[in-house]
Amino acid sequence: MDIINILPDSVANQIAAGEVVDRPASAVKELLENALDAGATSIQLIVKDAGRTLIQVIDNGCGMSENDAILCFERHATSKIHKANDLFAIRTMGFRGEALASIAAVAQVELKTRLHDDELGTQIIIEGSEIKEKTQCSCCSGTSISVKNLFYNIPARRNFLKKDSIELSHIEEIFKRVALSNFNVAFTFHHNGRLLYDLKASNFAQRIAGIFGANYNQRLYKIEEDTEPVKIFGYVGKAEYAKRIRGEQYLFVNGRYIKHLGLSAAVEKAYNELIPEHTYPAYFVLINVDPSRLDVNIHPTKTEVRFIDEQVIFAILRAATKKALGQYVLATELDFNPSTEIDFSPAPKNHIPEAPKITYNPSYNPFHSAPSTSTSASTAHSRSIEIESFPEPEPIESVPVNSHQELNYLGHYIITTLKSGIAIIDQQRAHERILYERLLSRRESGITTAQQLLFPINCRFNSSDSELLTELIPDLKQVGIIVSSLGQNNFVVTAAPSDFKESEMQQILEQTINDYKNNMLQKFSDRDKSICLSLARQMAVDADTILKPEEMQSLIADLFSCQAPNISPSGKRTMIILSEQDLAERFK
């Protein structure tokens, strides 16, 4: 008995469509890229309900003839490749002729298009790959495609979509990538009737500022390198703005957004000592190479790419980044900190220089924790930062600490003796625990120890972050951060707990939103806790900070007065205690 069937076209199309269009954002990407390929200089993106009900792209590009308007929905219909060889010189975004066929298979699509020189345009309505209507119409020159009710005929996929804020943030990410690399094209983006972005044709720096906020201009250095195998142009973030997550990292090769571990590493390595471990700089880099030196045999909807001159390109990119960082770091130091300039004026004749004096305190014992008056202790700890948030250590009965507590560092760890043994403490995790419980208890007690700021701080975020921040306003209030929306993605912070650095407010909020976003994706259930966790992690001292003995002391006292001193809020060990028994075991 024969058992093989040929799948009907409608089914085959739906299956193939799944590869190209898996969520609203991927349809947005295809439509924007088609508009760019059509030579548009102005593109409007209109979205309703995070793309569920409507995705519309209107462009002023070349438009299509009546025949092409019908053909464009056929699979493998493309105007971009005529012969196999064209593949190796591809400069357009799409070339497989699959996008519109796929979209039309899973949505209700309305196309209006007109060639510049034609008087009338064509309107086509197509649903589930079936043309329902074809009429002549009067419309603007260029193309407008409306994709309605995406996945209307595949309930499983429709149900699989995430909540609107998440789908919208995917769309927004696609929009940013496309708008960044096509800064000479004007874009608008409306969601549910609200104008989220209004970007005029501009240069790259202005485009970055238009998308991420005007304050980005001060956060970035320019990088530029014009060599034979590769041309590099763009902006890399100043080290002090590095973040704990890989957020704003954009690489474009020949105008296409790509992800490339090697290239990212090349940029990040240039920062090697400048930023703490596990923090990541922002970068926006446009790379141009001869298309024939690129491997195009990679799925166009993917973001990977392979270079023939890979090693050379890495080296050049890394050097260019280093140059930008090195040069400018020096320049700003000289500009803003003239006191660090060294006086090289010649000494007067017969001047006998005095031998430098060294003062030291012979009674200083680094293993004793009593605050030392000698300067030698504090200069040795010159890397320590002010930890204003530490209250005076209160005598807490339950603290199992010896009265003659000895404190010392072994690498990054604080070593101390307790009544019950030796404790080895990870100060960063310990501090996270302390701050976390403090924030939680603030919230639970309802006592918001918010302090009115003398000067309110203005912050600005991108649209999806602004939406999330608006959701978080009541939660932030509970931990003492009072934020109000000023509209148009602008916010003002009027109060914050005293242990916040005001200068870092924007960054703190950005990171909190990002953590919240990630937690949401991972279905972190308790959102209040997730905010306290995020804030605690940002405010905690890092492992490299060398605390003064009295700071170590109060850290340990605070840790032992926590409800769960043994684990950090993210579930990692804060300390190891070796009891006498443990030691006896080891000496066996």
> What are the C-alpha distances in Å from 76 to residues 101, 106, 146, 443?
8, 17, 21, 58
Residues 39-68 binding ligand ADP (CB under 6 A) are: 59, 61-64
Burial of 334 (0-12, 13-18, 19+ CB in 10 A): exposed
Footprint (CB under 6 A) of ligand ADP, residues 422-481: none
Asked if 92 touches Mg ion (CB under 5 A), the answer is: no
Q: Nearer Cβ to ligand ADP, position 78 or 568? A: 78
> How many whole angstroms separate alpha carbon 64 and alpha carbon 137?
13
Give the range of 32-40, 226-234, 289-297, 437-445 binding ligand ADP by CB under 6 A: 32-40
Q: Does 97 bind ligand ADP (CB under 6 A)?
A: yes
Burial track 168-179 (b if 16+ CB lie within 10 A, e otherwise): bbbbbbbbbbbb
Nearer to ligand ADP, 61 or 565 (CB): 61
Separation CA 357–CA 288 (nearest Å)? 58
| Residue 96, contacted partner among Mg ion, ligand ADP, none, CB below 5-8 A by kind | ligand ADP
Of 163-182, binders to Mg ion (CB under 5 A) are none
* Dist. CA 150–CA 166, nearest whole Å: 16
* 580-585 LR contacts (CB < 8 Å, sep 24+): 580/421, 582/421, 583/421, 583/422
What secondary structure letter does DSSP report for 541?
Answer: P
Q: Does 237 bind Mg ion (CB under 5 A)?
A: no
Map 231-288 to HEC letters.
EEEEEEECHHHCECCCCCEEEEECCEEECCHHHHHHHHHCCCCCCCCCCECCEEEEEE
Distance, in Å, from the CA atom of 560 to the CA atom of 542, rounded to the nearest integer, reads 19
3 state DSSP class of 423 = strand
CB atoms within 10 A of CB 95: 17
What part of residues 344-403 is at the interface with Mg ion (CB under 5 A)?
none
Q: Is 34 in the site for Mg ion (CB under 5 A)?
A: yes
Kindly tell me the sign of the dihedral angle through the C-alpha atoms of 328, 333, 338, 344: negative
Out of 18, 48, 96, 567, the only residue in the binding site for ligand ADP (CB under 6 A) is 96
The binder of 199, among Mg ion, ligand ADP, none, by C-beta within 5 to 8 A per type, is none
Q: Which is nearer to Mg ion, 80 or 158 (CB)?
A: 80
233, 428, 448, 472 from 569: Cα distances, Å = 41, 11, 21, 20
In angstroms, give the least distance from the CB of 51 to ligand ADP.
17
Q: Which is nearer to ligand ADP, 92 or 489 (CB)?
A: 92
Asked if 569 is part of the footprint of ligand ADP (rule: CB under 6 A), the reply reads no
**How far apart are CB 473 and ligand ADP at their closest, in Å?**
40
Judged by beta carbon distances under 5 to 8 A according to partner kind, the member of ligand ADP, Mg ion, none in contact with residue 483 is none
Pairwise CA distance, residues 105 & 113, whole Å: 20
Q: Which of 23, 48, 179 is nearest to 102 (CA)?
A: 23
Using the rule CB under 5 A, is 565 a contact of Mg ion? no
DSSP 319: H
Residue 469 interacts with, from ligand ADP, Mg ion, none (CB under 5-8 Å by kind) = none
Selected from 38, 168, 282, 459, the binder of ligand ADP by CB under 6 A is 38
CB of 289 to Mg ion, least distance (A): 22
Give me the residues paired with residue 530 across strands.
Answer: none
Site string for ligand ADP, 63-92 (x = CB under 6 A): xx-------x----xxxx------------
**From the list 51, 94, 480, 569, which residue makes contact with ligand ADP (rule: CB under 6 A)?**
94
Please identify which residue in 17, 23, 28, 30 interacts with ligand ADP, judged by CB under 6 A. Answer: 30
Q: Which two tokens stand for residue 554?
A: 């109060």
- Residue 79 binds which entry of ligand ADP, Mg ion, none, with Cβ cut-offs from 5 to 8 Å by kind? ligand ADP
24 binds, among ligand ADP, Mg ion, none (CB under 5 to 8 A by kind): none
Using CA atoms, how far apart are residues 70 and 129, in angstroms rounded to an integer?
11
Q: Which is nearer to ligand ADP, 93 or 236 (CB)?
A: 93
Position among 35, 58, 99, 209 found at the interface with Mg ion (CB under 5 A):
99
Place of tokens 């010896």: 402
Please identify, using beta-carbon distances, which residue of 96 and 162 lies nearer to ligand ADP: 96
**CB closest to ligand ADP, residue no:** 94
Q: Residue 139 interacts with ligand ADP (CB under 6 A)?
A: no
Q: Which does 78 bind (CB under 5 to 8 A by kind): Mg ion, ligand ADP, none?
A: ligand ADP
Q: Is 94 in the site for Mg ion (CB under 5 A)?
A: yes
Tell me if 255 contacts ligand ADP by CB under 6 A.
Answer: no
**Stretch of 33-41, 69-77, 264-272, 388-396 lying at the interface with Mg ion (CB under 5 A):** 33-41
Picked from ligand ADP, Mg ion, none, the partner binding residue 59 (CB below 5 to 8 A depending on kind) is ligand ADP
Q: What's the closest the beta carbon of residue 54 comes to Mg ion, in angstroms? A: 19
Picking from 85, 106, 87, 80, the residue whose alpha carbon sits closest to that of residue 20 is 106
**Separation between Cα atoms, residue 27 and residue 174, nearest integer Å:** 10
CB-neighbour burial class of residue 564 (10 A; exposed 0-12, middle 13-18, buried 19+): exposed
Contact residues toward ligand ADP (CB under 6 A) are: 30, 34-35, 37-38, 59, 61-64, 72, 77-80, 94-101, 143
Question: Site residues (CB under 5 A) for Mg ion?
Answer: 34, 94, 99
